[in-house]
Amino acid sequence: MHILADASMPQVAVLAEHLQVQGMALTLSTFQGRQPSAAQLSAADVLMIRSITRVDGTLLQQAPKLRWLGTATIGTEHVDAAACAAAGVTFASTPGVNARAVGDYVASAVANFALERNQLPQGEVAIVGAGHTGRAAGERLQGLGLNVHYYDPPLHAQGVECVHNNWQRVLNSAVISLHVPLTTCGEFPTRYLFNTKNIQQLATGCLLINASRGAVVEEQALLQAMQRQQALHVVLDVWEHEPQINHQLLPWLHYATAHIAGHSLAGKVGGSLQLFEQWLQFAFGRNHAWQLPPLNALLQPWPQAIAPRLWQQAQAPSWQMLASWVRAIYDIRNDDKQLRDQVSDSASFDALRKAYQARPELSCGQVHGGDWLADSDWQQRLSQLSFSFSRL
């Protein structure tokens, strides 16, 4: 069995070795960059990728032995699922694997934005897309004390509660965070969901965050809005023409990052682990006997990224304190500076992502508190921020 994996996927070698020690006849090779070579593809029975690798009919023709393809991401639009099916290749993704990391990213963006102004955003927060990442982002912002609502017309049409389809309510919101796949057809297309018309209608001073897919926001329309001095604050982690970023737009952005919202250490390692488990189930059935190490064991080489952050708090914390705790674990400003300092072209964009340092998650936060922690509302807010807690 020959597995070909993206070299940026952490711990794939450890996972493969774990199976080899148990007696599996397994060969692992890795590829650098966005696309594997034809020679590498020709030998692959299994291919494991991330979102930068595009899989279409041309790639599949170069991989005649391929029977299983997995992406260590939530999004799947970089893979032509129909071409996979036609080629007899089973395709799997990892929904939810980096949801906590994306939620942390949005929380850091809003926490830093609020701390800079010494004021939480006034008004509602619209989460566009109530899937794994949208829910994680919404929960963390609720933990900060914000009023969150979820806009998701497809789920609303299915009768799902706690979501709505009121687009005007989204446009009126003080913060809008995008968590949708990129779709161009169907009843609810998301390409250019935020175009010239919709950007013009945003509430004054709105904070717009896109950590989903670049083309959900029309960059040219966004640039024009900024150039005409529209009162708008924008955070972009994704770009319409990745790995090329819009350098005209960059100076106008409040925070700009290199498609790293989901790149916490636990999220990336968890993606590798989940792909191996899904492949084992495909190859050997759900009750297979092969054993994989637990996530915590795989994270041990990066103690700095999983070490607890402890705060002792006798009195109930202010929103400023909660925001500062978020910032202490993950500070989006560092990633913003890296992009502005280091990215000049497509190659440097990819190099920054490849060299991205292990990042902790907010779940590292531990709060030891006084009597205020007996209050169920405070327990809920800390849980929404994914902090653990105990009473002094």
Work out whether strand 175-178 and strand 124-128 pair parallel, antiparallel, or are unpaired. Answer: parallel
Q: Are 263 and 72 in contact (CB under 8 A)?
A: no
Measured CA to CA, the distance from residue 312 to residue 347 in angstroms comes to 44
Say whether 213 is catalytic: yes
Measured CA to CA, the distance from residue 317 to residue 300 in angstroms comes to 32
The torsion angles phi and psi of 342, rounded to 5 degrees, stand at -115, -20
Check 213, 233, 254, 353 and give the catalytic one.
213
Say whether 242 is catalytic: yes
The secondary structure of residue 360, as a DSSP letter, is -
Say whether 18 is catalytic: no
Tokens of 133: 């990442």
Measured CA to CA, the distance from residue 246 to residue 304 in angstroms comes to 34
Q: Are 209 and 103 in contact (CB under 8 A)?
A: no
Measured CA to CA, the distance from residue 176 to residue 232 in angstroms comes to 11
The secondary structure of residue 287, as a DSSP letter, is T
Q: Are 137 and 106 in contact (CB under 8 A)?
A: yes
CB atoms within 10 A of CB 346: 14
Check 139, 218, 242, 361 and give the catalytic one.
242
Check 18, 135, 156, 259 and give the catalytic one.
259
* Three-state secondary structure call for residue 74: coil
For residue 34, give Cα distances in angstroms to 9, 50, 52, 117, 250: 13, 9, 6, 40, 24
Sheet order of strands, 68-71 included: 27-31, 2-6, 46-49, 68-71, 90-92
The catalytic residue positions are 213, 242, 259
